[in-house]
Amino acid sequence: MTTSSQLITQINALQVPPGSLALWALGQSGFVLKGGEIIVYIDPYLSNYVDEAGYAPPGTFPRQFPAPLLPEEVTNAQVVFCTHEHADHTDPKTVAPLHKASPQAVFVGPPQSFDILYEVGVPSDLIDIPPVDKPLTVGQLTYTAIPAAHYDLDYDPQRGYRWLGFVIELNGVTLYHAGDTILYDGLVDRLKRHRIDVACLPVNGRDWWREQRGMIGNLDAHEAAELAATIGADVLIPMHNDMFAANHASPAGLADFLDRTYPRQKYHWLQPGELYFYVKS
């Protein structure tokens, strides 16, 4: 198994020419992206904080696999996206040591994530709270914040949207990371304004039993497949389905639905630490 230091070395060394994008899966909704010399982290959850923080009895939400990276070894982050404040997306036990290891990194997220980041020591001038639907740049990277509905759009006139996804344009490739969301009126139209090459979408779904245990759900496999096909995404990367045994849906559902409904839709399940190299055709 690749160690944390070996994975960091691989990320740093990999050459990613124009028109391509490298993705490493971190588990749950976490990814590392590299295009050219730009290295981006999205929703890194690299601790066992969800199980240790007292949200539920200990042992309810343990990690199902070791973290592919140690946050204190993440010395290469340039931009870190946090889609919302839930601990598997803005993890204080990850972002604090990551900031110390990568003091140059800019963090991007909604106001609730700002609160957590600032509390653990990230200076406010390194945290961006983006408006939605407006392209912004960090160096050679362009991103657009897209509202997410986890289960609703949760908009505050003073603070903005609580849940976000991001369209990230890097190295000639456009990736959409949905964060945690279900479908809502206007999401498809928002995404069709962009030419999405890679769509990272949650597929764990939702049901009454999990809701009673405090687990707010997401798109299910059918909805994610329909969304990817409708917006014309070249590749679907399923996510948010591997970290917690109590919040898992079988990958067979997605495979079967795509085979019957969209057999030419490309998709790939990533294992933690796995590299997926996308080349735009």
φ, ψ at 266 (rounded to 5°): -80, 140
- Coil/strand/helix, residue 114: helix
Q: In the prediction, which pLDDT does 95 show?
A: 98
Nearest to 182 by CA among 232, 223, 144: 223
**Quick one: 209 exposed, middle or buried, by C-beta within 10 A (0-12, 13-18, 19+)?**
exposed
Q: In the prediction, which pLDDT does 244 show?
A: 95
Q: In the prediction, which pLDDT does 207 show?
A: 87
Cα dihedral 39→44→47→50 (10° resolution): 170
φ, ψ at 125 (rounded to 5°): -75, -5
Q: Which domain holds residue 155?
A: 4-279
Beta strand residue intervals within the chain, DSSP E: 20-27, 30-35, 38-42, 79-81, 106-108, 127-128, 136-138, 141-147, 155-156, 160-161, 164-170, 173-177, 198-202, 235-239, 266-267, 275-279
DSSP letter at 206 equals -
pLDDT by position in tens, the chain (length 281): 789 999 999 999 999 999 999 999 999 999 999 999 999 999 999 999 999 998 889 999 999 999 999 999 999 999 999 999 999 999 999 999 999 999 999 999 999 999 999 999 999 999 999 999 999 999 999 999 999 999 999 999 999 999 999 999 999 999 999 999 999 999 999 999 999 999 999 999 998 888 888 788 899 999 999 999 999 999 999 999 999 998 999 999 999 999 999 999 999 999 999 999 999 98
Instruction: Report the CATH number at residue 161.
Output: 3.60.15.10
Q: In the prediction, which pLDDT does 55 show?
A: 86
Structure tokens at 106: 């800019």
Domain count, the chain: 1
Q: In the prediction, which pLDDT does 134 show?
A: 98
* HSE of 222, CA atoms in CB hemisphere, 13 A: 4
Question: Before 45, cis peptide (omega within 30)?
Answer: no
Q: Is the pTM of this model over 0.95?
A: yes
Q: In the prediction, which pLDDT does 214 show?
A: 78
